Amino acid sequence: MAGLAESGSNPDVDLLYDINGLAKEAPHWFDRCMEFVGEYGLLLAMVLLVLWCWWGVRRRGGESAAASVAALVWVPLAAGVAVLVNVPIRGFVERPRPFLEHQGLEVLIEGKNDYSFVSDHATLTMAMGVALFVANRKFGLVGILLGLLGGFCRVYMGVHYPTDVVGGFALGTAVALLLSPPAMALLTPLMRAVERSPKVSWLVRARGAERSGDGPLIPGARSGAASEERDLAA
């Protein structure tokens, strides 16, 4: 991969200069915004998106609440696993940052002297976005879009090649999807146990909900006996 950075005539480097060139033409305040968004903002937005989705799941309750919360727990875990998988990949490839190989780049953030391939930010955000899509498609689509925007920001900032970002997208997606079945097999029983615990059941369902049969508590649901009495009265 390091060889890709040696020639400015290859598409990877050309696209790097094209995207990063936008930073030279943009106002200073816009570059500062892109720096914050690309380094911290999108990660924060992703966390808030997951929390928003979890809040809706626990309020709805239902028999699938434990499985839904388990899928949301997998979101940050998938990101962590993906970044850990990336550690040996970066050490094996040893691709320098683009600004160390090419002149004239507008680097918006200093101190990035570790290896470039694969992008940790792209890996992390896409793993979260894809894992969130598995849990909830509406929120997941937003998460994937945030991940794509994050990858663009990393190239815009001059700290990654486009192929670093694409590699991060592929790695994050693979980890989130391939490890989702065993993760759910482990996390779902755990979340059901949490749901049955009086002290921490609020993590899976809202407090004060009523049980629907033998399943999780559902806000506003009638008990089985009450429903039967209503039907007989009718």
For residue 83, whether the previous peptide bond is cis, meaning omega lies within 30 degrees of 0, is no
Handedness of CA 179, 181, 184, 186 (dihedral sign): negative
Q: What digits encode the pLDDT tens for the residues 190-227?
A: 988 888 887 877 778 766 543 433 333 333 333 343 34
pTM to 2 decimal places: 0.80
User: Are 96 and 2 a contacting pair, CB within 8 Å?
Assistant: yes
Helix (H) or strand (E) holding 210: strand 210-211
**Residues contacting 75, CB < 8 A, separation 6+:** 50, 128, 131, 132, 135
Query: Quick one: angle between helices 137-156 and 11-25, nearest 10?
Result: 90
Question: Around 107, how many Cα atoms within 13 Å sit in the side-chain half-sphere?
Answer: 16
Output the pLDDT for position 221. 36
Place of tokens 């755990």: 190
pLDDT score for 45: 94
CA distances to 41, 63, 65, 223, 228 from 219, rounded to whole Å, are 34, 12, 12, 11, 19
What are the backbone dihedrals phi and psi of residue 81, each rounded to the nearest 5 degrees, phi first? -65, -40
pLDDT tens, residue by residue, 147-158 = 999 999 999 998
What's the burial of 170, exposed, middle or buried (CB within 10 Å: 0-12/13-18/19+)? middle
Q: Which two tokens stand for residue 58?
A: 């626990």
Residue range 11-203, CATH number: 1.20.144
Give the pLDDT of the chain (234 residues) as one tens digit per residue: 444 444 446 888 889 999 988 888 888 889 899 889 888 999 999 999 999 998 888 887 777 788 889 999 999 999 999 999 999 998 898 888 888 888 888 888 887 888 889 899 999 999 999 999 999 999 999 999 999 999 999 999 988 999 999 999 999 999 999 999 999 999 999 988 888 887 877 778 766 543 433 333 333 333 343 343 334 333
Residue written as token pair 């780049």: 105
